[in-house]
């Protein structure tokens, strides 16, 4: 009898402690907004469908301003875009928009937030057109 109770207890703990990533309380529009709008960030990983393009962003420091603008600075070169967060189909998204140059247009998208800490944001985008999956990671400087 003790064995049965023990196994039921272990099963209950394991079953009820499992959660889907979409229910992660550290990922909400307010948490993502407050995280990215605090400090300077760099892109530490960018996977575009089938190849790594992280090097296109080496040396850039990103600042997500509270007014919805984002600036990427590398030496004397400054690129400006916009950003926002939103809840779309129960997924928290970080929306980036740049009008130039081409490398920055590539990351202009509504990115699904798959992980958030105070120093890292991992994002994913599944393309509706070609079905490819892109990944983008920002880490705090």
Residue ranges covered by each domain of the chain: 22-140
The dihedral through the CA atoms of 127, 131, 132, 137 has a sign that is positive
Region 79-105: mean pLDDT is 96
pLDDT at 8: 40
pLDDT at 72: 98
Categorise residue 77: left if φ over 0, alpha if ψ from -120 to 50, beta otherwise.
Answer: beta
Categorise residue 39: left if φ over 0, alpha if ψ from -120 to 50, beta otherwise.
Answer: left
Q: Whole-number mean pLDDT of the chain?
A: 86
Measured distance CA(129)–CA(120) in Å, rounded: 28
Is the pLDDT score of 6 beyond 80?
no
- Token digits of residue 28: 């909400």
State phi, psi for 44 to the nearest 5 degrees.
-105, -10
pLDDT at 10: 36
pLDDT band with cut points at 50, 70 and 90 for residue 49 = confident
pLDDT at 26: 76
Region 95-107: mean pLDDT is 97
Name the class of domain 22-140: mainly beta
Over the stretch 20-42, which tens digit does the pLDDT of each residue have?
344 566 799 999 999 999 999 99
Threshold 0.75, pTM exceeds: yes
As a whole number of angstroms, the longest Cα–Cα distance in the chain is 73
pLDDT at 14: 35
Helix H or strand E segment including 109: strand 109-116
Helix H or strand E segment including 106: helix 102-106
Beta bridge partners of 110: 95
- Report whether 104 contacts 72 (CB < 8 A): yes
């Amino acid at each position: 009898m003790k064995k049965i109770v023990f196994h039921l207890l272990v099963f209950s703990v394991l079953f009820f402690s499992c959660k889907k990533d979409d229910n992660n309380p550290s990922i909400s529009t307010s948490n993502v907004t407050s995280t990215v709008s605090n400090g300077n960030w760099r892109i530490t990983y960018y996977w575009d469908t089938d190849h790594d393009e992280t090097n296109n962003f080496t040396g850039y420091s990103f600042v997500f301003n509270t007014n919805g603008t984002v600036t990427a600075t590398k030496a004397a070169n400054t690129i400006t875009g916009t950003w926002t967060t939103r809840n779309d189909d129960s997924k928290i998204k970080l929306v980036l928009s740049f009008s130039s140059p081409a490398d920055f247009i590539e990351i202009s998208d509504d990115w699904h937030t798959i992980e958030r800490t105070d120093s890292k944001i991992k994002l994913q985008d599944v393309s509706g057109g070609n079905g490819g999956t892109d990944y983008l990671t920002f880490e705090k400087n």
